[in-house]
Chain A
Amino acid sequence: ETGVTQTPRHLVMGMTNKKSLKCEQHLGHNAMYWYKQSAKKPLELMFVYSLEERVENNSVPSRFSPECPNSSHLFLHLHTLQPEDSALYLCASSREGASLRGYTFGSGTRLTVV
């Protein structure tokens, strides 16, 4: 148990579907993150929320829509995705921003777009 829980673990969706990824943490952390891991690429930061306010959006296409209703929950809403969006999507949280304590990651959602 990492303290950051992601659901679902696996998701297969068609290009016209709408789905949501969920992330939950009860570590008392103030910041939450969405990362994308594609094959043979570094982890790419997508969004950052600090105290429920979005503080970073790294040029992510609008077909990805994050939502942070409270400091414990983070969602990633997906619609009209492309096959190249297939990847491992990782949620993370931290007590503050960048620090030597690092982030706590969830186990990820393996997304396949068909």
Chain B
Amino acid sequence: DQQVKQNSPSLSVQEGRISILNCDYTNSMFDYFLWYKKYPAEGPTFLISISSIKDKNEDGRFTVFLNKSAKHLSLHIVPSQPGDSAVYFCAASSSGAGSYQLTFGKGTKLSVIP
């Protein structure tokens, strides 16, 4: 049973517009949420994260929103650039000593069209 779901396998956005990538989770014990970006032939790279005590975290063009009641988070990229074209993975974990499990979604492939 998938605990982290990214229901859109792909998304196409025009350059300069906003990209919104969505993620849902089922495990109420998750309190750390992360987004990773992956280019072909490379490993995932950490992009941005948020803890459950916040509902928004912003870093430059990237903003992550968390809606705990809906168990939903989203990544906004504004403005989108062609270099943002990649696969984006949502991941979640629970905090606490001895916690190592980072659970990933299947990813959403973003294509930013020039």
Binding site for B on A (CB under 8 A): 2, 4, 6, 31, 33, 40-43, 45, 48, 50, 55-56, 90, 92, 97-108
Contacts and interface: CB of A to CB of B under 8 A. Distances in A.
A2 B44 CA distance: 10
Given A2-B43, A55-B98, A103-B46, A43 B34 contact: no
Interface string B3-25: 01000000000000000000000
A103 to B, nearest CB: 6
A104 B46 contact: yes
Contacts of A100: 32, 34, 49-51
B46 A42 contact: no
Contacts of A2: 42-43, 45
Contacts of B91: 102
Contacts, number: 74
A101 B101 contact: no
B99 A98 contact: yes
Given A45-B101, A107-B41, A107-B42, 11 more contacts: A42-B104, A42-B105, A45-B103, A48-B100, A48-B101, A56-B101, A97-B100, A98-B95, A99-B32, A100-B49, A107-B43
A49 to B, nearest CB: 9
B88 interface: no
A16 to B, nearest CB: 28
B106 interface: yes
